[in-house]
Amino acid sequence: MKRRTTLLYCLLATALLSACAGAPPAKPTHVTVKVDWTDPAKFTDTRTDQCRDPVKPEEWLGQLARYIQARAPDHLLSDQTLKVTINDIQRAGQCEPWRGPRLSQIRIMTSIYPPMINLHYQISNADGTIAAEGDRKLTDLAYLDRGIAFDRNDPLRYEKRLIDDWLRRGIDGPARR
C-alpha cells in the first residue's frame, strides 16, 4: 500500500513539473495581423493549373490568410501590427491530365512542383512607426523529403509549413536562399 502511494505521488509530481515547464509563453496583447492578396488570376498557380475543375483561389487564400492570422501573433511584440500581402503563390504539386481522366483532379506531388509564396510584409508599432518591412520568397525545394507536414489530408499542408518556417526564422529575419 505504501509503495503504491509513493508511486502515485511521484507520478503527480512529474506531471506537475512537466506541466509547469512546458507552459507556453504569454501571448502578446493588442496584436493585429492583416492579410490580403493581389489579383489571384495573376498567380503562378492559377495560370499554370491544369486541373479539370480547379478550386477557386479565393477558397484556399482565405484559409491561408486565417492561418497567418492565427500563427503570427506569437511572433510579434505587444501593440504591433503585421500587414501581409500575398503577391504570388504556386501550391505544391500539379494536376497532370495526361495521366488519364480519373486522375485529372489529383495534384501529383513531385520535386518538380515545389510550393512557393511571394509576399510583402510590414510590421508597425502602436505609434505608427514602421519597425520592419520587406519582401520574401518562401519556397521549399525539399518539401517531400521533410516528412509528413501537419494533417496529411490538408491540401495546404506544405504552404502552411512554408509560413511556419518563415515565422520561426523571424518575420524580419534574413531571407533564406
Q: What is the pLDDT of residues 31-84, one digit of tens each?
A: 999 999 999 989 888 777 666 666 778 888 999 999 999 999 999 999 999 999
> How much is the pLDDT for 177?
42
Asked if residue 84 is part of any domain, the answer here is yes
Total domains, the chain: 1
Asked if residue 15 is part of any domain, the answer here is no
Find the domain containing 78 and state its range: 28-169
92: buried, middle or exposed (CB in 10 Å: 19+, 13-18, 0-12)? buried
Q: Which of 176, 173, 70, 57 is nearest to 121 (CA)?
A: 173
Asked if residue 17 is part of any domain, the answer here is no
Using CA atoms, how far apart are residues 61 and 69, in angstroms rounded to an integer?
12
Highest mean pLDDT among 9-13, 61-65, 103-107: 61-65
Residues 6+ apart with CB under 8 A from 109: 92, 93, 144
Q: Tell me, yes or no, if the pTM score tops 0.85.
A: no
Asked if residue 174 is part of any domain, the answer here is no
Using CA atoms, how far apart are residues 24 and 13, in angstroms rounded to an integer?
19
Q: What is the pLDDT of residues 114-154, one digit of tens each?
A: 999 999 999 999 999 999 999 999 999 998 888 765 678 88
> How much is the pLDDT for 64?
96
Asked if residue 163 is part of any domain, the answer here is yes
- Look up residue 150 and give its three cell numbers: 501537419
Asked if residue 11 is part of any domain, the answer here is no
Asked if residue 7 is part of any domain, the answer here is no
Q: pLDDT band at residue 15, thresholds of 50, 70 and 90? A: low
